[in-house]
């Protein structure tokens, strides 16, 4: 499955709460969706966003955060770690993926 750090869970829950107030249906179960899609210079790229739980989703849960992953994306994400960096030079979610053979120079896409 996917490992979620405490820092990533804390930041995502804060953002999810803000997003739920504005965009998500109140009576639905929500989480942070991690998805792999085709694109970028290396062939695949990550998508992160808040979404409703779907019937075929796999769920990685940490400190109250539900990370929703479709079965196809899980093939590429298994064993990955989701973290959040909050530094002066770099701020944002970071995925460390042991399945990635290489990444592009900008770090936005990967190949397997």
Could you say which DSSP state residue 37 is in? Answer: E
Mean pLDDT (whole number) for 11-39: 81
Domain map (residue ranges) of the chain: 3-22+30-101
pLDDT of res. 41: 77
Look at residue 112 and tell me whether its pLDDT is greater than 80.
yes
Q: Is the pTM above the cut of 0.95?
A: no
Q: Does domain 3-22+30-101 have CATH number 2.60.300.12?
A: yes
| Segment 40-85, tens digit of pLDDT | 777 889 999 999 999 999 999 999 999 999 999 999 999 999 999 9
Task: Produce one character per residue of 79-90: b if its CB has 16 or more CB atoms within 10 Å, e if not.
Answer: ebebbbeeeeee
The Cα-based distances of 59 to 31, 33, 62, 110 in angstroms read 9, 9, 10, 23
pLDDT of res. 20: 66
pLDDT of res. 21: 65
Confidence bin at 22 (pLDDT 50/70/90) = low
- Cβ burial of 68 (10 Å; 0-12, 13-18, 19+) is buried
Confidence bin at 24 (pLDDT 50/70/90) = low
């Amino acid at each position: 499955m996917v490992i979620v750090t405490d820092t990533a869970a804390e930041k995502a829950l804060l953002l999810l709460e803000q997003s739920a107030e504005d965009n998500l249906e109140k009576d639905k179960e929500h989480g942070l969706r991690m998805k792999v899609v085709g694109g970028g210079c290396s062939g695949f790229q990550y998508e992160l966003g808040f979404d409703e739980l779907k019937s075929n989703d796999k769920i990685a849960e940490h400190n109250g955060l539900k990370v929703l992953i479709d079965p196809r994306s899980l093939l590429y994400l298994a064993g990955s770690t989701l973290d959040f960096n909050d530094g002066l030079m770099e701020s944002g979610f970071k995925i460390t993926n042991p399945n990635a053979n290489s990444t592009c120079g900008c770090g936005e896409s990967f190949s397997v």
